[in-house]
Structure 1
Amino acid sequence: MAEPQRIVIVGGGLAGAGAAAALRERGYRGEVLLFGADAHRPYELPALSKGLLIGDAEEPDWVRGQNFYTEHDITLRLGTRVTRVELGGRLVLDASGGEHPYDRLLLATGSKPRSLPVRGADLAGIHTLRTLDDALALRAAFAKAERVVIIGSGWIGSEAAAAARKHGAEVTVVGMESTPLESVLGAEVGAVFRDLHAEQGVHWRLGTSVADFVGDDGAVTGVRLTDGSMLEADVVLIAVGAAPETGLAQAAGLELAEDGGVCVDALLRTASPDVYAAGDIASQFHPKYERRLRVEHWANAKNQGEHAAGNMLGDHESYRRAPYFFSDQYDLGCEYRGLADPGTDRLVVCGSLAEREFVACWMRENRVTAAMNVNVWEHGDALKHLVDTGAPVTDEQVRRGEFSAGSAG
């Protein structure tokens, strides 16, 4: 594989910027052109719903320092929207009419928040959270709010609820599931987060959804639920998930998967020669799980961007990492590794759910499909090994905290 003379990256988030940095760190000397639609230099997303939204941080975690891109001869086009990719001509076209040829192309266009197709969704005071500007606007709104309603009981909704309470607002979270985070963690572990928030004064309205938003003089004043009840609100956050930004890829003729992402193989290559995808939009055939997998978490964007850079330079290596994410809510911190089906996998716990200090393992036969440590930090490497290797372990070993046992005994 000859070294390309010019690599174009579309997407200025962690995956795209991480790939650009990795190219230079590997000694690539050709041209690197990085397009970012955001006006800010590339930053990481986790702090937006954590420290920055709470007010503990004034800036996000930047992918690289202010001068990194200039010093490493990376052409960074901020606030620039790519409008078309011509696969046959190997061209990227931007909104200003510029044409940019490529030898290798990485698409890392990320996700956008899902909206609610109900009446009143365009009222002032209704927010979504995806960008730095979104986070700053929402933080300012929380600081002034009396009543906040959050639509969505997943990770973003839960973290935002903690932030809104820190700002002193009355908070209600609306979710369709009977327990928050149930689809990821199951009802038993999800109840830990439900009770944590309840102790902090959060009100839950679960098993229902939004019928419409009501307002006065163009601003939101309430949320009507499908059960007929009304919640007063001066600030609303819609946190019902994100959709991959695949419009550019689809218009170019790239294949999309059933999960909405761009189809890529184990090496993160699309079916089009020399075109790769990474991060939120990549629906990868994952060798570990032997099926397509699309992951929206921070670690996936970071690791896939760097991995794609290596393969664009000829590594030819499959991406095999298991999903990983972390969350901070009040005094609870947690890490999750792997991919469980909480509806069928067996839950085994070491520690105390009630005291919120535990390790939860989801088991399939005698192997760990996923592990989550909550306010327990010493077992990270051992849990990663169990998830990554499928090393056998018994339920009793898990309950005793023998995560490094490595065999079923």
Structure 2
Amino acid sequence: MKRVLVVGASAAGLAAAETLRREGFDGTLTLVGDEPAAPYDRPPLSKQILSGEWSPTRLPLRAPADLDALDLDLRLGAAATGLDLAERAVRLADGAAVPYDGLIVATGVRPRRLPGRGAHVLRTLDDALALRGRLEPGRRLAVVGAGFLGSEAAAVARGLGCEVTLLEPAPVPLAHALGEQVGRVLSRAHLEHGVDLRTGVTVTEAGKGGVRLADGGSVEADEVLVAVGSLPNTEWLVGSGLTVADGLVCDAYCAAAPDVYAAGDVARWHNPLFGTSMRIEHRTNAAEQGMAAARNLLHPEARKPFAPVPYFWSDQYDMKVQAYGYLRGHDGVAVVEGDLDERRFLAAYRTGDRLTGVLTVGLPPKAIRPWRQAIAAGAGWHESDLLPAPA
């Protein structure tokens, strides 16, 4: 293999490129990114960048010298527009056709949008800076979507003195992922910090001046942030012959086709640890999967399934939320440590008869580590000595 092409220059793509070099690949390594900026970290966008706590100069994932040391054919500001599997070439928006022997797709996701003009989204550094420039004391911000991104932005805006209205179609925010008990705990934090949280409402249009609701009502605002989820960047793969279904579909090795692998937010792969197909939009998974895809591409004779215990975190107000495992589709939740009312607790998640997830709020990192190990070991719900014995 003489030429490897990595499409996507964020956390997953950079991790793949670094791993290829570390594992001994000395051929042509092309890294393509649609943004003009060098690879940078995204989680701080809705936290430290939006609050003004950090300068954008803290975001780059690697120093220029470290990128230079990778000896990359770096193509920034050039989005991929098509893939020819037979010719083994990727077409770019600038008209170039980049050949490859091995390909890693790491094109990430983009924000879902709503009808209307003038609303903000939050995915890129430019998005974060544009919104940050409008958040001043007394200004009214409407946030559509009370998931993690919307909740983090609402918390930051309240800290900056904005009047915040948080709109969510579900009766309890995040209940579909974390359970109703935990969702209510996180919701109370918004209310206690003065956010006007409105649940069970559907927004049909979002733009300059506010939002329109499905019931005919409206919410006036100086600025609107739409945070209603993401769409995988797979349009450029249409007609390529690869299978696309809410992400680029891969096997347990992150392979989508011979010599074609995927990593990060765009990849939908079969995780054998949980026995299901999943697509994870978390920073830690992006880096881990980038490394795994690169190793499997470079060493096909020694491929290993990618079977991680996913990890994510969120900072909202004074709460540090951390979770391991696959919480979606759970059958039960048990609070086994701490107190929900004090927002300091550990909740364990059951799917079938297995321990499949754990979430903490307000606890130190060491509290969650043994649970991660139990999930990785495939512990049964009643087999883990971390859980209280059944009555």
Offset from partner CA, 1:344-372 (integer Å, 9 cap, x none): 22333310111111111112466421101
- Identity over aligned residues, as a percent? 39
CA contact (8 A) 2:35 2:76 kept: yes
Name the SS of the counterpart of 1:211 in structure 2: strand
CA contact (8 A) 1:267 1:316 kept: yes
Measured in 1, the distance between the counterparts of 2:141 and 2:185 equals: 22
Measured in 2, the distance between the counterparts of 1:291 and 1:360 equals: 22
Unaligned runs of 5+ in 2: none
CA contact (8 A) 2:330 2:349 kept: no
Name the SS of the counterpart of 1:198 in structure 2: helix
Map of 1:159 onto structure 2: 152
Q: What is the CA distance between 1:32 and its match in structure 2?
A: 0.6
Alignment RMSD: 2.0
CA contact (8 A) 2:41 2:59 kept: yes
Map of 2:376 onto structure 1: 388
User: Which shifted more, 141-150 or 349-358?
Assistant: 141-150
1:367 to 1:285, Cα distance in 2 relative to 1, 3 A: closer
Name the SS of the counterpart of 2:134 in structure 1: helix
CA contact (8 A) 2:137 2:161 kept: no
Q: How does 1:31-180 map to 2 (within 5 A)?
A: 31-59=28-56, 60-116=58-114, 118=115, 121-122=116-117, 124=118, 126-143=119-136, 146-180=139-173
Say if 2:263 is the partner of 1:263. no
Name the SS of the counterpart of 2:312 in structure 1: strand
Letter paired with 1:294: R
Q: What is the CA distance between 1:21 and its match in structure 2?
A: 1.1
Map of 1:286 onto structure 2: 271
TM-score, normalised on structure 1? 0.89
Q: What is the CA distance between 1:29 and its match in structure 2?
A: 1.1
Map of 1:351 onto structure 2: 338
Letter paired with 1:208: V
Measured in 2, the distance between the counterparts of 1:263 and 1:195 equals: 38
Map of 2:12 onto structure 1: 15
Map of 1:300 onto structure 2: 285
Q: How does 1:204-283 map to 2 (within 5 A)?
A: 204-213=197-206, 220-257=208-245, 260-271=246-257, 273-283=258-268
Measured in 2, the distance between the counterparts of 1:83 and 1:367 equals: 42
Q: What is the CA distance between 1:289 and its match in structure 2?
A: 2.0
Letter paired with 1:161: A
Measured in 1, the distance between the counterparts of 2:311 and 2:242 equals: 27
Name the SS of the counterpart of 1:67 in structure 2: helix
Letter paired with 1:45: R
Name the SS of the counterpart of 2:348 in structure 1: strand
Offset from partner CA, 1:205-233 (integer Å, 9 cap, x none): 1001113347xxxxx22222223332110
CA contact (8 A) 1:361 1:398 kept: no
Letter paired with 1:14: A
Measured in 2, the distance between the counterparts of 1:210 and 1:183 equals: 19
Structure 1 segments, 4+ long, off by >6 Å, are: none
Measured in 2, the distance between the counterparts of 1:43 and 1:251 equals: 31
Unaligned runs of 5+ in 1: 215-219, 401-406
Q: What is the CA distance between 1:145 and its match in structure 2?
A: 6.3
Name the SS of the counterpart of 1:143 in structure 2: coil
Q: What is the CA distance between 1:276 and its match in structure 2?
A: 0.9
Offset from partner CA, 1:49-95 (integer Å, 9 cap, x none): 11111111112532221222212211211111222211101112222
User: Which shifted more, 62-71 or 82-91?
Assistant: 62-71
Map of 1:325 onto structure 2: 312
Measured in 2, the distance between the counterparts of 1:207 and 1:312 equals: 46
1:346 to 1:82, Cα distance in 2 relative to 1, 3 A: closer
1:253 to 1:364, Cα distance in 2 relative to 1, 3 A: closer
Q: How does 1:359-398 map to 2 (within 5 A)?
A: 359-364=346-351, 367-377=354-364, 378-392=366-380, 394=382, 398=386
Aligned residues: 386
Letter paired with 2:77: G
